[in-house]
Structure 1
Amino acid sequence: MEQKKEAKRIRRYNSYMAVFNTNQIYLRNPWVIAWWSAAFPGFGHLNLGLYLKGFMLIIWEIVINNGAGINKAMVYSFNGRFDVAKDVLNPRWVLLYIPVYIYCIWDSYHKTIDLNKHFLLAQNENSPVTVFNMKGVSLNMLDKRQPQYALVWSLLFPGLGHLYLHKLMSGSFLFVSCIVIGYYSHLVEACIYTINGSFELARAVLDPEWFCYYPSMFCFAAYEAYIIAVEQNKLFELEQFQFLRENVQPRSFELLGSKGNEET
Structure 2
Amino acid sequence: MDNYTNSNTARRYLAHVSIFGTTQFHLRNPYIIAWWSMAFPGFGHLLLSKYLRGFVLFIWEVVINIQAKVNVAMIYSFQGKYEMAKDVLDTRWLLIYIPVYLFAIWDSYRTTVDLNKVYLLAERENHPINSFSMGAMEINYLDKRKPINSVLWSMFMPGLGQLYIHRIVTALFVIIWCVVFFYYSHLLEAVSLLFLGKIQQATAVLDAEWLLFFPSIYGFAAYDAYVNTVENNKLFEFEQRNYLKRNYQKPSFTILKGKKVE
**Normalising by structure 2, what TM-score?**
0.95
The 1:191–1:27 alpha-carbon spacing in structure 2 relative to 1, beyond 3 Å, is same
The structural deviation recorded for 1:62 is 0.3
Do the aligned partners of 2:8 and 2:130 also contact (CA within 8 Å) in 1? no
For 2:160, give the aligned amino acid: L
Mapped to 2, the partners of 1:165 and 1:8 lie a distance apart of: 22
SS in 2 for 1:62: helix
1:76-95 to 2 correspondence within 5 Å? 76-95=76-95
Aligned to 1:42: 42
Partner of 1:10: 10
Match for residue 161 of structure 2?
A: 161
Quick one: structure 1 residues 58 and 6, their matched pair in 2 at CA, closer, same or farther if it must change by over 3 Å?
closer
Cα deviation for residue 198 of structure 1 reads 2.4
Q: Which residue of 2 aligns with 1:202?
A: 202
Separation in 2 of the partners of 1:64 and 1:7? 43
The offset of 1:203, in angstroms, is 1.4
SS of equivalent to 2:255:
coil
CA distance in 2, matches of 1:259, 1:182: 60
Q: 1:178 to 1:257 in 2, by over 3 A?
A: same
The residue number in structure 2 matching 1:138 is 138
Task: Give the equivalent residue in structure 2 for 1:98.
Answer: 98
How far off its partner does 1:84 sit? Answer: 1.8
1:21 aligns with 2:21: yes
Runs of 4+ in 1 over 6 A off after TM superposition: 4-9, 258-261
Counterpart AA for 2:181: I
How far apart are the structure 2 equivalents of 1:182 and 1:5?
47
1:31-55, Cα deviation, whole Å (9 max, x unpaired): 1000000000000000001011101
Q: Confirm or deny: 8 A CA contact 2:6 2:128 kept in the other structure.
A: no
Question: For residues 5 and 205 of structure 2, what CA distance do their matches in structure 1 show?
Answer: 64
Superposed CA deviations along residues 16-37 of structure 1, whole A, max 9, x for unmatched, are 1111121111111111000000
Residue in 2 aligned with 1:233? Answer: 233
Unaligned stretches of 5+ residues in structure 2 = none
**Which one is further off, 99-108 or 139-148?**
139-148
Question: Counterpart of 1:15 in structure 2: which amino acid?
Answer: A
- Shift in Å, 1:13: 1.6
Give the Cα separation in 2 of the matches to 1:56 and 1:9: 30
State whether residues 33 and 44 of structure 2, in contact with CA within 8 Å, keep that contact through their aligned partners in structure 1: yes
Quote the offset at 1:7 in angstroms.
6.4
Letter in 1 for 2:252: S
Q: Within 5 A, what are the aligned runs for 1:222-261?
A: 222-257=222-257
Which segment is superposed worse, 8-17 or 233-242? Answer: 8-17
Task: Work out whether residues 6 and 130 of structure 2, in 8 Å CA contact, stay in contact via their aligned partners in 1.
Answer: no
* Structure 1, 122-131 or 227-236: larger mean CA deviation: 122-131
Structure 2 counterpart of 1:220, one-letter code: F
Residues 1:9 and 1:89: Cα distance change in structure 2 (over 3 Å): closer
Cα 1:207–1:239, aligned 2, differ >3 Å: closer, same or farther? same
Q: How big is the shift at 1:4?
A: 7.2
Q: Work out the CA distance in 2 between the residues paired with 1:12 and 1:132.
A: 19
Identify which range, 216-225 or 83-92, moves more after superposition.
Answer: 83-92
Q: What secondary structure sits across from 1:23 in the alignment?
A: strand
Count of residue correspondences? 261
Q: CA RMSD in A?
A: 1.8
Name stretches of at least 5 consecutive residues in structure 1 with no aligned partner.
none
Listed one character per residue, the Cα deviations across residues 59-108 of structure 1 (whole Å, up to 9, x for unaligned) are 01000001101001111111122222222111100000000000000000
Provide the rounded CA distance (Å) in 2 between the counterparts of 1:197 and 1:7.
Answer: 60
